Amino acid sequence: MSEMSYIFNILVLGDNETVLEYLQQGGLENVSIEDVSEWEYKGNENVNLTFEVPMNINADYDNLISMADGILFFLNPNSESEIEIFKEMMKIIQGMKRDIHTIVIFRDKLRVIDASANELLNWIWSDYPFEACISDIGSPNILKMIISCLTESIIGGDMIILQSNAWLRIPSLFKQANYEIEQQNWKEAGKLVEKIAKIAQKNQNSDWTIYAEQAAWLYSRDGEFLSAAKIISSFNPVFSNRFRKMYVDKLNSQGNRLLREKKFGDAAQLFEMAGNWARIELSNTELMKKSYTLAIDSWIGACETQNAFTLLEKFNHNEMVEILESVTQNIAGSADYLSSIGQDEYAKSQLYLCFQRYQKAGLFESIKVFANKVVKILKRILEKHLNNNDVYTAKLTLDELYNIWESFEVKSENIDQYLLQMGHLFIKAYDFQKVEAIVKKIQSKSLKKQLTKSSLKVEEKYKKETKQYELKDLKKMCDFLFDYVKDEGLIFYDLNKDIYDKSDFLVYNKNFSQASLLVKKQADWLRQIGMEILSFDVLEKVFDIYIQGDMCGKFINEIHFLPENRRSTFLKRKINEIMDSIEKISHSIDSVEFENILTAMIKLYRNHLLYEESKRFSEVYIEFLKDLGTNIAKKGDDESLLKSVDIVHQIEQVIKSYFEEKEVNLDSLLSLIVNYFIEKGDLKEARTYNRRIKDQDIFDAYFSRMEKIEEEKGSSVALLAQQKQQMQMYADQLSQLSNQARDQRMASQSLLRMRIGLKKRYFQKGIDLISTKNLSEAAQVYSDIAKKLITTKKFELAGISTAVASLIYLILKEIDLIEKELESFIFNVSNSKKIFFETFPIKLINYTLIMINAKRSEQIKSALKLFDVLALFPEERLLLETLLGDNSDIKALMQKKTTRTQETVKKIPSNYDLMIEKLVYNPNLKSKRKTLENKYWGECQSYLYHQQYEEASTSYLDAINELNKRNLEIFSIDSIVMAFLLLLKIRQPEDVYKTFEKYIYQLSKNNKEISKTEEIQLLDILIRFWNKSIAIYMLKEILIAFEIKLHLLDWESSFIKHLISSIEGKKQPESDREQISQPESISESADDFLKNQVLLLVEDLNKIKEKFKEFKGKRQKMIRAYYKDILDDLHNKKYQDAAVNYEKLSKRMARRNDFDSASLMILLAVLSRIKAKEKLTDIKTNINSLLGSLGIVKKILIDNFEIKVAYFIIDSLSTNYNSIQSELNEILNELPLLDEESSLINLFN
C-alpha cells in the first residue's frame, strides 16, 4: 500500500536571472521553458513540487497567483525598482480570498546587501503576514531548507516559521503582542502569541505550552473559541473541549438573538451549525437535540420546511414523531403567512412536503389540518386563474383539489360556481370535451342543464361555420389553379411538339447523338425556368433515344436526373427495350466494357428494389462469364486457368448475391479446371472444384482418377504416424494415472476404515452376492450404492463402488453396461457430477474403457493393475485377481468390443470444407456488433475473464431471445457458437453434444432457418468430433474459419485462438486449458478447493501487512474529507446506503489513480451489501458491473488483494464455509478498517 502523495504548485517571483540561477544551484530539475519555466523537486515525504517562474513580464499574474499553493519572492533590497514591484505584487497576493503561504528571500547576486538583516526582516514581519530570510552573495544555498518549511506549513495549514530566523523575531512579536493587548485587539494579539508558541516549540523550549495557553485565552476573549481549542488540543484536551462547548453556546446565543429579530433563516443556520458541532466534535447528544430542535422551529418560521425535515433524520423515530406533532400548528401558520403575502403556490408546495413525512409518522390528524389548509389555498388559486381567464391552468388546480379530497378523506365542498365559470371559458375556447368533463362534476341539476345547453348551441354553430369556410376556400383555390395549369400546359405542349418532331427526324436518319442533344437542351431549359415536372417528361424522351441508339453508358450515367419514383417506373416499363439494347451491344464492344455496363445495370435495378427485373441482367451476366471463362480456360496455360478459377468464384458470388436458389451448370468450365489441377498434382484444389460438377458421370470419373492417384502415393505412412501419436497419448494418460495411484495408495487405509464402518449399511449385500457368484445382481447393487454415496457427498467411496461394479461387468464381458451406468450418473447426479467424475476410480474406469475400445491389451492389463490401490474388501479384490490372472479374458473383452467399435467409428464429413467456403465475412456487421457489445455481451466478457465458463455460456444463450426479437439473428449465430465452444472447456464432448441437440431442437420450433445455417452445421460437426484424433485437421480448419469469418469481438477471437493452440498441441490436450482456466486438483473436493484459495490469500496478506498499517493511519486522517457520511450510515445500520457511497468513492479514487483505496472501497461495498442481506448473485453482478464501468482501470484493480478477497467471500458464502472460517476471519481482521467499520466483518455471527 503506497503512502499518500502531495502535489503542490509553487510560484517563484522576482528577477528571472537571480531566480533561475538559485533554483539550479539548489538542485532542482528544469522540465520545460516556455512562457513559464517549470522546475521539479521530489521531497523525502512523498512531496512533489512544481516551481513555476514567469518568463514574460506581461504574464497574467492574477491567474498565476490564484492557482499557486505557495510563493517564493526573490527581492533585491539594493534595487528601488524591484522594491516597488514587490509592493505591487504584495497587494495582489493580499487581495486574494485565501491566505497563500509566502516566503520573501532577500538576495543580490552581484554584491553584498547594504541594509542590515534586522531592518529587512522586521520590515517584512511588521508590514506583511509573511516569512522572510536573507541569502546574501556569500551565503550558502538554503533552498531545500526553505522548501521544507514551506511544504510543512502548506500540509499542516500552519504559519511559516524559518527556524534560522525565529530567534530574531521573538522580541518583535512580544512587543507587537503587548501593543495589541493594550488596544484590546484580542484576536490579533492571540495570533502573535500563537506564533511565539510555535517558535518556542520548534526551539524545544518547554515554555511553549504556557505561550499557547496565553494565546488561547486571548482568542477566547475575542470569541474565537475554535482557534483557542485548536492551539491547546495537543496538550490540554479538557480545556480544548471546553472551548468547543463555548463555541456551540456562542452559536446558540447568536441564533436566539437573530430569532428575536425575526431573522429566522439566519438563526436556523446557526442552530444547525451548533447541532452539528455538538454531534460531531463534542458527542453531546442532549446539546445536539436542543440545537436541532431550535433549528427546526427556525426553519419553519423561515418557511423552509424542507430544511427542517432534513434535520429530523438526526432523531430516533419516537422523538421525530413527537417533534412533528408539536410543530403542526407552526407549519400551518407559516402556510397562512405565505398565503397572506400572495405566495399561494409556495405555501401549497410546503404543505405537500408535509404529507409524505407525516404519513410515514402515522400523524393522520395533523395531515387533515394540512389538507384543509391546502383546500383553502387551492380555492384561492383556482379563483385567481379563472379571473385571469387561464382556464387550462385552472383545470389543473381543480384536479389537485379533487385529489386532496379523495386522498385525505377531507369533506368536499360545493364549488359549482367555479365549475360553471370554468365550463363557459372552455366553451369560448371551443374545447367541448373538457366541457363534458366539467358537467359531470357539477352538483346542481339546473346548472348542469344550463351549461350543457350553452355548449351544444355553440358547438353546432362552430361546426357549421368551419365547414362552410373550408369548402369555400377550397373551391376558390381549385378554380384558380385549374385555369392557370390549363393555359400554361397548352403553351408548353406546342413547344415540346416541335422539338419532338425534329428529334424523330434525326432518329429516323440514325443520328441518335444529335437527337438526344436537341431534346436534352429543351429539358434543361424547362428545368431552369422552374418547370421541373415538364422537364422530367422531356428527359424520358431523351432516355428513349439513348435506348434506341444503344447508348447504354450514357443512359446509366444520366438516369439519376429523373426523380426516384419516376426513375423506378421508367426502368420497369422499359425493361424489354433495355434488354434488346444490351443484346445488341454484346457483340460490338469488348468484354471489359460490356461487363462494366452489365454490373452497373444490375446495381441500378437493385438500388430501385426491382429485384426480379435485375435477375434478367444477372442471367445475361452469368452466361457472359461462363463463355468468357471457358474461352480463357481452353488456352491451357497456368495464367489462363487461374483467371478461369477467378471467374468461377465471380459467377458463384453473382449467384449468391442475386439469386436465392438458382442452379447454374458450369460443368464444361469446371472440367477444364479440375483436369488442370490434377495434372499439376494439387489434388486438394481438384477435389474442391470437382464437388461443384453437376454431372454425376463426370464427377465420378474425376473422383476415381484422384482416388487412384492418392492410393499410389500410399496412405500407410499417414496411418503409421497417426497410430504413433495415439500410442503416445495412451502412454501419457497411463503415466498420469500411475502418479495419481501413488496418492490413492496413501489414502486407501483411511478409505478402507470408512468402508468398514459403513459395511453393514451399504456393502454387505453386494459382498454376499459376490460370494454366491450372483454377479449380475451384485453389479446392480454396487451401482445403486454409488448413487446413494454421491447424495451424501462421499465421492471417493462412490467411485470405489462404481469400480467394483465395473470389475464385475468386465468379468461378465458386458462392456456396454459399464458405459450405460456412467451415463446414468450424468443425469442422476448432475449437481455433483464434476467432483464425482474427477475421482481416481472413475478416471481409471474411463481409461480402461478407452483401451478396450482401442484393443490395447498391454494398456488394459496395466490399467487393471492400478485397481489394486483401491480400498477393496477381500471378496472384491478376488474379482480383480480373476481378471489379472486370465489373459484370455482380456482378449475376449477386446473381441467382444470389436464389432461395436467398428460400428461407432465416425467418418469425417466430406462436405465440411464446402460449408466453410460458404461462410461470408461482413466487416460492417462486426462494427455493428461492437457497438452492441456492452448491452448484450458485456456480462459474457466478465465471466470469461474470471474463467466462469458455465456462466458465460448461459449468458450467451440468454441473450439470443432478445437478439431475435430485434431482428439480429446473425448475431444469435455468433452467440450460439461461442456458448457451446465455452462448454467444451469444462464438459465432456458427449455431454455438450446432448445439450446442443436439445437446444437446437427447441430453437428450431421458432426459427428453423438458424439451425440450417452453415455456422450451426459446422458447430454440430465440431462438437461430435471434438478430441477425435482422426479429425484434428478438420477441427482446426473449422475453428480458424470461425475466428476469421464470424463477427467476433477481440476477446472472443483470443479464446478461439487458445482452442486452436490446444488442437495443434494435442499431445498434452489439457495444457491450453490450464493456461486459461484455474488449476483444479482432480481429487480435491469443494472444501479442499476453498482451503487452497484461502491459503493463497493468507500468503498475499503476509506480504502487505505493514502497508495496511500505514494505510489505516492515512484513512483516519481523511475521515472528515471522505468517510463522514458513510460512517453515519454504518452507525444507523443503513448498509445499502453505505454500499452505494463506498462504490461512488471507489470511482473517485480510481480516477485519481489511487487504486489501493479504490479496491478497498469495493471490498467494503461488498461487505455492506452482505450485511444488508442482499442476494449473493446480485452482489456478484453488481461488482462485475462496477468494475466494468471503470474501463481499462478494471485490469489493474482485478489483481489487487482486496478484489480477490471480495470475490472469495461471495464464493465461500455460497458453499459450506465452515472449514475456512478461521482463516477468513484472520484476513478480515487485518484489513485497514476504521473502528466504525468493524461491524462489517462479522459475517459469521
Q: How much is the average pLDDT of 704-727?
A: 62
Banded model confidence at residue 897, pLDDT cuts 50, 70, 90: very low
Q: How much is the average pLDDT of 1068-1092?
A: 39
How many other C-beta atoms lie within 10 A of the C-beta of residue 789?
21
213 and 245 assigned to the same domain? no
761 and 831 assigned to the same domain? yes
Answer yes or no: is pLDDT of 993 > 80: yes
Q: What is the pLDDT of residues 423-459, one digit of tens each?
A: 888 788 777 888 888 888 887 888 878 888 888 888 7
926 and 1049 assigned to the same domain? yes
**pLDDT of 72:** 92
225 and 288 assigned to the same domain? no
Answer yes or no: is pLDDT of 1215 > 80: no
939 and 832 assigned to the same domain? no
Q: How much is the average pLDDT of 1059-1068?
A: 62
Task: Name the DSSP letter for residue 929.
Answer: H
Question: CA-CA distance, 823 to 802, in Å (whole number)?
Answer: 12
How many other C-beta atoms lie within 10 A of the C-beta of residue 535?
19
Task: Name the DSSP letter for residue 867.
Answer: G
Q: What is the pLDDT of residues 905-942, one digit of tens each?
A: 445 676 677 788 788 878 888 888 888 888 888 888 87
**pLDDT of 1165:** 92
Banded model confidence at residue 1068, pLDDT cuts 50, 70, 90: very low
DSSP-based three-state secondary structure for 509: coil
Answer yes or no: is pLDDT of 833 > 70: no
By residue range, what is the domain housing residue 631?
492-651
Question: CA-CA distance, 1129 to 1145, in Å (whole number)?
Answer: 14
Q: Is residue 439 part of a domain?
A: no
CB 981 within 8 A of CB 1059: yes
Of residues 674 and 588, the one with the higher pLDDT is 674
Instruction: Count the alpha carbons within 13 Å of 725 in the hemisphere toward its beta carbon.
Output: 16
Q: What is the pLDDT of residues 57-86, one digit of tens each?
A: 777 888 888 888 899 999 888 888 888 888
Banded model confidence at residue 198, pLDDT cuts 50, 70, 90: confident
CA distances (Å), 153 to each of 8, 174, 198, 345, 587, in order?
A: 12, 22, 12, 53, 96
1152 and 1018 assigned to the same domain? no
In sequence order, the 6+-apart residues with CB closer than 8 A to the CB of 583 are 620
Q: Is residue 1220 part of a domain?
A: yes
**pLDDT of 1245:** 56
**pLDDT of 1218:** 67
Banded model confidence at residue 901, pLDDT cuts 50, 70, 90: very low
Banded model confidence at residue 1, pLDDT cuts 50, 70, 90: very low
**pLDDT of 725:** 60
| Pairing between β-strand 36-42 and β-strand 47-54 as defined by DSSP bridges | antiparallel
748 and 869 assigned to the same domain? yes
How many other C-beta atoms lie within 10 A of the C-beta of residue 1067?
10
Exposed/middle/buried for residue 86 (C-beta within 10 Å: 0-12, 13-18, 19+): buried
Question: CA-CA distance, 659 to 662, in Å (whole number)?
Answer: 6
Q: What is the pLDDT of residues 451-494, one digit of tens each?
A: 888 888 887 888 887 777 777 767 767 666 666 555 555 555 55
Q: Among positive and negative, which fits the CA dihedral 684, 688, 691, 694?
A: negative
Q: What is the mean pLDDT of the chain?
A: 78
CB 673 within 8 A of CB 648: yes
Q: What is the pLDDT of residues 294-329, one digit of tens each?
A: 888 888 877 888 877 777 878 888 888 888 888 888
Answer yes or no: is pLDDT of 666 > 80: no
Banded model confidence at residue 899, pLDDT cuts 50, 70, 90: very low
DSSP-based three-state secondary structure for 884: helix
39 and 16 assigned to the same domain? yes
The answer to which of 231-245, 692-706, 829-843, 1127-1141 has the lowest mean pLDDT is: 829-843
Q: Which residues pair with 7 in a beta bridge?
A: 48
Instruction: Count the alpha carbons within 13 Å of 103 in the hemisphere toward its beta carbon.
Output: 27
Q: Is residue 745 part of a domain?
A: yes
244 and 305 assigned to the same domain? yes
In the chain, the amino acid numbered 1233 is: L
DSSP-based three-state secondary structure for 1095: helix
How far is C-alpha 489 from the chain's CA centre?
65
Of residues 1217 and 1161, the one with the higher pLDDT is 1161
Answer yes or no: is pLDDT of 1067 > 70: no
Q: Which residues pair with 41 in a beta bridge?
A: 49
- Specify the CATH number for the domain of residue 74: 3.40.50.300
- Specify the CATH number for the domain of residue 303: 1.25.40.10
Q: How much is the average pLDDT of 1151-1165?
A: 86
Q: Is residue 701 part of a domain?
A: yes
Q: Give the residue from 1014, 1045, 1076 where a domain finishes.
A: 1076
Question: CA-CA distance, 987 to 980, in Å (whole number)?
Answer: 10
Q: Give the residue from 874, 904, 934 where a domain finishes.
A: 904
Q: How much is the average pLDDT of 388-409?
A: 80
Question: CA-CA distance, 242 to 216, in Å (whole number)?
Answer: 12
Q: Is residue 95 part of a domain?
A: yes
**pLDDT of 978:** 92
887 and 918 assigned to the same domain? no
Q: How many residues are given for the chain?
A: 1245
**pLDDT of 485:** 57
725 and 865 assigned to the same domain? yes
1198 and 1061 assigned to the same domain? no
What is the residue-wise DSSP string for 680-741? HT-HHHHHHHHTT---HHHHHHHHHHHHHHHHHH-SHHHHHHHHHHHHHHHHHHHHHHHHHH
**pLDDT of 714:** 47
CB 926 within 8 A of CB 1035: no
Q: Is residue 365 part of a domain?
A: no
In the chain, the amino acid numbered 250 is: K
Of 695, 750, 899, 880, residue with least CA distance to 815: 899
The answer to whether the predicted template modeling score (pTM) of the entire model surpasses 0.85 is no
Question: CA-CA distance, 1047 to 511, in Å (whole number)?
Answer: 55
DSSP-based three-state secondary structure for 880: helix
Q: What is the pLDDT of residues 945-989, one digit of tens each?
A: 676 788 888 889 888 888 888 888 888 888 999 999 998 888 888
Q: What is the pLDDT of residues 617-626, one digit of tens each?
A: 777 777 777 7
**pLDDT of 492:** 58
* Domain total in the chain: 8
Q: Which residues pair with 12 in a beta bridge?
A: 72
Banded model confidence at residue 775, pLDDT cuts 50, 70, 90: confident
Q: Is residue 369 part of a domain?
A: no
CA distances (Å), 700 to each of 37, 655, 690, 703, in order?
A: 85, 25, 9, 5
Q: Is residue 405 part of a domain?
A: no
Q: What is the pLDDT of residues 717-739, one digit of tens each?
A: 445 555 666 677 777 778 888 88
If you average pLDDT over each of 789-793, 802-806, 1199-1203, which comes out highest?
A: 802-806
Banded model confidence at residue 4, pLDDT cuts 50, 70, 90: low
Exposed/middle/buried for residue 944 (C-beta within 10 Å: 0-12, 13-18, 19+): buried
Answer yes or no: is pLDDT of 643 > 50: yes
Q: Give the residue from 603, 628, 651 where a domain finishes.
A: 651
Question: CA-CA distance, 262 to 337, in Å (whole number)?
Answer: 14
